[in-house]
Amino acid sequence: MTDLYPANFYTDRRRHTAHAAERIFAALPLGLVRDSVADIGCGTGTFLAQALRTGASHAFGVEGDWLDASLLDDKRIVFEHRNLEQRLGCHAVDLVVSLEVAEHLSPERAATFVGDLCAMAPAVLFSAAIPGQGGVGHLNEQWPSFWAALFRQQGYSAHDIIRPKIWADDAIPAWYRQNTLLFLDQVTAERLDLRPDDPALLDRVHPAFWARANRELAYANALPESEVLRRQAEAAQQ
């Protein structure tokens, strides 16, 4: 990964993500241990700062070398510059967070990246851009079911318990509302008495992105596929 964003990107991003971090952490199951939390692709550490505010005693963040550590939201965050295309080998924590990061990595890195996250913690808070979501530097947009299959290979089940609690909150960026899932190893899932969700039912498009897609079609003066097919059918009947 390289420097994809302007110098003020993370300063502006903080305003949009602080509320999201508060709501998402509040949606985590009550019995989930999170005394130590890591964020892989942490940006300015907004989610780690929220973890510290809500009881974590240790917060560890990893980001590319373009991030100025002086921008971190909390001075207690232990921070490292890393190339996320390389294997992580980070120390163990209770909860690892990686939100809207995996799509920036090469397709070849997907399975090992998930493996690295699972090696760090029994619980992984994860989101990644879906196909067609768009964004700067996206290399591997995949449906949640794709990522769930990789987590399942590591023995982790998918739990769609975050999205129902934040889906309608317009103050949270739509990508978090659309994509955020919790993955748990078997021991943790059983301890929390959480049943896994069917991976085939994880793939959703938030209305905010659906509306954007329709606006983009209008801007391009393009027809949706359904309209093209309708016109073709009418022409064939003439």
The ranges assigned to domains in the chain are: 9-205, 206-238
What's residue 2's pLDDT? 47
Top pLDDT among 215 and 99 is at 99
Residues in a beta bridge with 123:
95, 184
- DSSP secondary-structure letter at 226? H
Band of residue 208 on the pLDDT scale cut at 50, 70, 90: confident
What's residue 4's pLDDT? 55
Residue 10: pLDDT over 60: no
Top pLDDT among 68 and 149 is at 149
Residue 107: pLDDT over 90: yes
What's residue 201's pLDDT? 95
- Please tell me the class of the 9-205 domain: alpha beta
pLDDT in tens, 120-164: 999 999 999 999 887 888 999 999 999 999 999 999 999 999 999
Residue 63: pLDDT over 70: yes
The Cα–Cα gap between 225 and 27 comes to: 37
Assess contact for 91 and 60: CB atoms under 8 A: yes
Lowest mean pLDDT among 3-12, 44-53, 162-171, 224-233: 3-12
Burial class (CB in 10 A: 0-12, 13-18, 19+), 2: exposed
Top pLDDT among 213 and 89 is at 89
Question: What angle (nearest 5°) sits at the alpha carbon of residue 16, between those of residues 14 and 19?
Answer: 95
CA-based diameter of the chain, in Å? 72
Assess contact for 107 and 10: CB atoms under 8 A: no
What are the backbone angles phi and psi of residue 227, rounded to the nearest 5°?
A: -70, -40
The Cα–Cα gap between 132 and 219 comes to: 16
Q: What is the mean pLDDT of the chain?
A: 90
The Cα–Cα gap between 158 and 161 comes to: 9
Band of residue 195 on the pLDDT scale cut at 50, 70, 90: very high
What's residue 119's pLDDT? 98
Band of residue 237 on the pLDDT scale cut at 50, 70, 90: confident
